Structure 1
Amino acid sequence: MSRVKTRSRSIPAPASRLVACAAVAGAVCAGVLAAPASATATEPVVSRGVTIPAFYTPPTELPAENGALVRTEAMPLGLSIPGLDGRPMPGTATRLMYRSTDSNGEPVAVTGAYIEPSAAWKGGGPRPLVALASGTMGQGDQCAPSFALQHPLTLTGDTLSVGYEALAVYRLLAKGAAVVVTDYVGLGATDRLHTYVNRVDEAHALLDAARAARAVPGASVTAASRTGLYGYSQGGGASAAAAELQQSYAPDVPLSGTYSGAPPADLTAVMKGIDGSALAGALAWSINGFAQSDPDLRAVVDANVNAAGRAALADASTMCVGDAILGYGFTKSNKWTNSGASLGEVIARDPRAQAALDKQRIGTLEPAGPVRLATGVQDDIVPHGQARKLAVDWCGKGGNVTYDAVVLPNLGDKILTNHLAPLITDQGSAVSWLTDRLAGKPATSNCWSMPVQP
């Protein structure tokens, strides 16, 4: 089985024939999606000048049960949290690798981190757990959320990553809740590309992280611990999808509440929002991930993406958010296609591709337990309208939904500010709402009082 190297990032040969074969001259393009037989925990990978610890290389064999630990190790946390007077993170971290199941039904190794809080839980019952799904970090392994907890700022001549979820983690730990953070499928773990915004992969990875947390040596959480899901942006989509799939996939996870902020529930609408924006590179991440896992979409991409697009997809596959903003900010995807149509237009006119995106739609199932869904009314990156429609869809299915429209002024078109501002301004309310659910307090749906607009 072969690997090809693109800008120091080790890409599994079949991760996308489009990416691997077109981007690297003379590359060998045969193989399978499993880790190479020679891959062991003693082989670190270098991604854009950053050495990924050997811990992140999956073994060739995985445990039989979803959520089962593959390995753990002590993990130092970043020294302090910006904006909190240099106070250290109030907890002790363990890096972990665990088994999950991907959207094709195959076993997959996922990495992450569990943080045991130093603060006592005062809400009654055993210490609760929050499974946190990070917002968009990128597609390079050096962008993994667990890596960012150890290195809040990764800055080399070739990559820029900021661990912006540290504040949410801090606030949850300060409440006395334990936190487990998933790196998602393929982000950190070096055997495949990250399947960005794949709802099934993300939901499974998040729910299996909650399962894995119970088995971490020294963890105070148990199978009886109330569990909450927390996520914003990509993480909001992951937590929303996990709430929908919990009953069928992980009924053993005692879900007490879910916070879903700015969820990308309708990827067709989201593609239009990010195309030409500061985060245009995220289009490449989504295409890379879906081309890896969905043969129909891979065929459409192979037939429609030009040489410049293939080069951009390969380049972006190793990038973090900072790199993508600097490298592809405000790029329009019509530069990447043979026809000059945008990627959204290409997908919309091909039934196979549209069907692939339709399978990613969140809102077709009733979520388990109470959900708080918040979205900024000015959000033009993950458009407000499609996120609000998710709340409406859930209400129509009988969900216990608390919908909050975050009203802020327009802070600048397509430059991320309208998307990022609610992450901060709503965070305190989100953490408080979720803490109440973990304490066993009931939530009251506002579905029937939800205004038509916003």
Structure 2
Amino acid sequence: MAIPRWGQGAALVLGVCLAVVTVGTAPAASAESAPAAPANSTPTDFYAVPTPLPAGAPGDVLKSESYPPALAVPDQVGPWPSGAQRIMYRSTDAYGQAVAVTGTYFDASVPWSGGGPRPLVVLAPGTQGQGDQCAPSKLFAEVVHYTPPLDFSVEYETIQAYALLSRGMDVVVTDYEGLGTPGVHSYGDRRAEGYAVLDAARAVTRLPGSRIGGDSPIGLWGYSQGGGAAASAAELQDSYAPELNIRGTYAGGVPADLRAEAVTLDGGLGTGFLGYAVNAIYAGYPETRGEIDGVTSPYGREVLDDIATQCVTETIARYGLHRSSEWTRDGRSIAELIDALPNVRAVVDEQRIGRLTPRSPVLIAQGRNDDLVPYAQARTLADDWCRLGATVEFSIQEIPPIAPGLAVGHVLPAGTVLPYALNWMTDRFAGVPAPSTCNV
């Protein structure tokens, strides 16, 4: 079995707060976009992937359509964002094969005042779930997604996306591989998620009529699962997308070491997130299937199949505060099984972030008492990158332990660091030299 690198399900609480305080009226789509679907629709036809994929390069746009975001913020010149585009673009999986990935592009309706051309930020979302209904590009069109009895979602990444838009930065949010589109969501896969982030930036530069060009300044941004994806993208850029003008990466609550995550998540609210990762590795790495089948009990197989269809809230409700040992034939936990399964061990070890060098500055933010993503492994990531010569600022969020195991220590730092992260990213686009804590 394998383990995920992150979990951010409890941040849905923040999304609920946003839904209460923002205006839920849907504004009109932009003039140059295609006719928009109703805000509460689930456009399944859009997510049908062309078979075979047309020839092309990573980042090529396969299709796009406009739609009105369900939550809009009132402004003197009208609501913002004024509209959004779903995009389907070409990316690459962990084996180097072409795949289709979807996402959402928001063009900021407020001026960019930071100097120079308007920038683009690629927002890598935190844990959404593994069911196709959980894709952010679907949830941005709904104030609340609910299918009885427990399939409930609010797109909590609206908070970070709209904070960036309020600065005049355009934003693209990837759905990652297999979330919305056919196949199993590649939850926890370092390469697949990093490639999806980088190719989202490429896709925006290739959208017809896009004001973001090939030389536009770009930032990478994410927390929790998104922090891992953004961090992966930062260190993969040099080999995968060297042409992108990436000015900096904010990566918060970064789950860089799967082995540390195995112990921390098990038995807390995030136990069910383990199933997302097991499913992803089982689907993405055929050499692990015999090993996983050999240790998974019949009940464990039922759990994995169930989790594959769920969004994060339902997974927490059904499987949080349980133990992964309940899913195995001999009662061993996922953490205990990693070293016993050679192929799984190799896949898990390959996911560790920190072996490659980001070419642009990085801000790593980490709660000292994070109860989903251990502090020590984030500190190690910062040290690893410093040794490789990267410019890294490690920002410690000093929040006392609150209800350990219930994700409070993981969710709160996402909010406390947000104002600083926004200013940090604005400074990168302005050309201000990046601070570093590497010698502190």
TM-score by length of 1: 0.85
Query: C-alpha displacement at 1:409, in angstroms?
Result: 1.0
Q: Give the whole-Å Cα distance in 1 for the aligned partners of 2:73 and 2:136.
A: 15
Query: C-alpha displacement at 1:64, in angstroms?
Result: 1.5
1:186–1:193 CA contact under 8 A, matched in 2: yes
* Match status 1:362 vs 2:353: yes
2:123–2:172 CA contact under 8 A, matched in 1: yes
Q: Give the whole-Å Cα distance in 1 for the aligned partners of 2:287 and 2:88.
A: 30
1:168 aligns with one of 160, 167, 173:
160
* Match status 1:106 vs 2:97: yes
Q: Which amino acid aligns with 2:132?
A: D
* Match status 1:239 vs 2:221: no
Q: Could you say which residue in structure 2 is the equivalent of 1:422?
A: 413
> 1:20-419 counterparts in 2 under 5 A?
51=42, 53-62=44-53, 63-80=55-72, 88-158=79-149, 159-189=151-181, 191-419=182-410
Q: Give the whole-Å Cα distance in 2 for the aligned partners of 1:112 and 1:294.
A: 24
Q: Which amino acid aligns with 2:212?
A: V
Q: Show structure 1 runs of 5+ residues with no match.
A: 1-49, 450-454
Q: Tell which has more relative contact order, 1 or 2 (C-alpha 8 A, sep 6+).
A: 2
Deviates more, 1:402-411 or 1:268-277: 268-277
- Say if 1:298 and 1:418 are closer, same or farther in 2 by CA, change over 3 A: same
Query: SS at 1:203's partner residue?
Result: helix
1:231-266 per-position Cα deviation (integer Å, ceiling 9, x unaligned): 000000000000000010001111100000011100
Q: Which amino acid aligns with 1:267?
A: L
Q: Which amino acid aligns with 2:159?
A: L
Query: SS at 1:187's partner residue?
Result: coil
1:77–1:89 CA contact under 8 A, matched in 2: no
2:73–2:81 CA contact under 8 A, matched in 1: no
Q: Could you say which residue in structure 1 is the equivalent of 2:37?
A: none
Aligned sequence identity (%):
45
Q: Give the whole-Å Cα distance in 2 for the aligned partners of 1:381 and 1:333.
A: 15
Query: C-alpha displacement at 1:124, in angstroms?
Result: 1.9
Query: C-alpha displacement at 1:193, in angstroms?
Result: 0.7
Q: Could you say which residue in structure 2 is the equivalent of 1:433?
A: 424
Q: Give the whole-Å Cα distance in 1 for the aligned partners of 2:400 and 2:435.
A: 28
Q: Give the whole-Å Cα distance in 1 for the aligned partners of 2:137 and 2:317.
A: 23
Q: Give the whole-Å Cα distance in 2 for the aligned partners of 1:284 and 1:316.
A: 6
Query: C-alpha displacement at 1:219, in angstroms?
Result: 2.3
Q: Which amino acid aligns with 2:393?
A: T
Query: C-alpha displacement at 1:384, in angstroms?
Result: 1.3
Q: Give the whole-Å Cα distance in 1 for the aligned partners of 2:127 and 2:359.
A: 24
Q: Give the whole-Å Cα distance in 1 for the aligned partners of 2:90 and 2:130.
A: 20
Q: Could you say which residue in structure 2 is the equivalent of 1:39?
A: none
2:72–2:81 CA contact under 8 A, matched in 1: no
Query: C-alpha displacement at 1:52, in angstroms?
Result: 5.1
Q: Which amino acid aligns with 1:157?
A: P
Q: Give the whole-Å Cα distance in 2 for the aligned partners of 1:395 and 1:123.
A: 28
Q: Give the whole-Å Cα distance in 2 for the aligned partners of 1:242 and 1:129.
A: 15
1:94–1:114 CA contact under 8 A, matched in 2: yes
Query: SS at 2:383's partner residue?
Result: helix
Query: SS at 1:280's partner residue?
Result: helix
- Say if 1:275 and 1:60 are closer, same or farther in 2 by CA, change over 3 A: same
Query: C-alpha displacement at 1:385, in angstroms?
Result: 1.1
1:393-416 per-position Cα deviation (integer Å, ceiling 9, x unaligned): 111111100100100011111101
Q: Give the whole-Å Cα distance in 2 for the aligned partners of 1:362 and 1:353.
A: 17
Query: C-alpha displacement at 1:155, in angstroms?
Result: 1.5
Q: Give the whole-Å Cα distance in 2 for the aligned partners of 1:129 and 1:433.
A: 15
1:79–1:88 CA contact under 8 A, matched in 2: no
Q: Could you say which residue in structure 2 is the equivalent of 1:11?
A: none
Q: Give the whole-Å Cα distance in 1 for the aligned partners of 2:152 and 2:243.
A: 38
1:155-176 per-position Cα deviation (integer Å, ceiling 9, x unaligned): 1204111211101111111111
Q: Give the whole-Å Cα distance in 2 for the aligned partners of 1:318 and 1:351.
A: 28
Q: Give the whole-Å Cα distance in 2 for the aligned partners of 1:412 and 1:346.
A: 28
TM-score by length of 2: 0.87
Query: C-alpha displacement at 1:53, in angstroms?
Result: 2.2
Q: Give the whole-Å Cα distance in 2 for the aligned partners of 1:173 and 1:121.
A: 9
Q: Which amino acid aligns with 1:245?
A: L
Q: Give the whole-Å Cα distance in 2 for the aligned partners of 1:310 and 1:326.
A: 18
Q: Give the whole-Å Cα distance in 1 for the aligned partners of 2:248 and 2:188.
A: 21
2:69–2:81 CA contact under 8 A, matched in 1: no
Query: C-alpha displacement at 1:77, in angstroms?
Result: 0.4
Query: SS at 2:251's partner residue?
Result: strand
1:296–1:356 CA contact under 8 A, matched in 2: no
- Say if 1:218 and 1:91 are closer, same or farther in 2 by CA, change over 3 A: farther
Q: Give the whole-Å Cα distance in 1 for the aligned partners of 2:326 and 2:371.
A: 21
- Say if 1:211 and 1:306 are closer, same or farther in 2 by CA, change over 3 A: same
Q: Give the whole-Å Cα distance in 2 for the aligned partners of 1:152 and 1:273.
A: 32
Query: C-alpha displacement at 1:344, in angstroms?
Result: 1.5
Q: Which amino acid aligns with 2:408?
A: T
Q: Give the whole-Å Cα distance in 2 for the aligned partners of 1:328 and 1:81.
A: 35
Query: SS at 2:83's partner residue?
Result: strand
Q: Which amino acid aligns with 1:164?
A: Y
Q: Which amino acid aligns with 2:425?
A: L
Query: C-alpha displacement at 1:125, in angstroms?
Result: 1.8
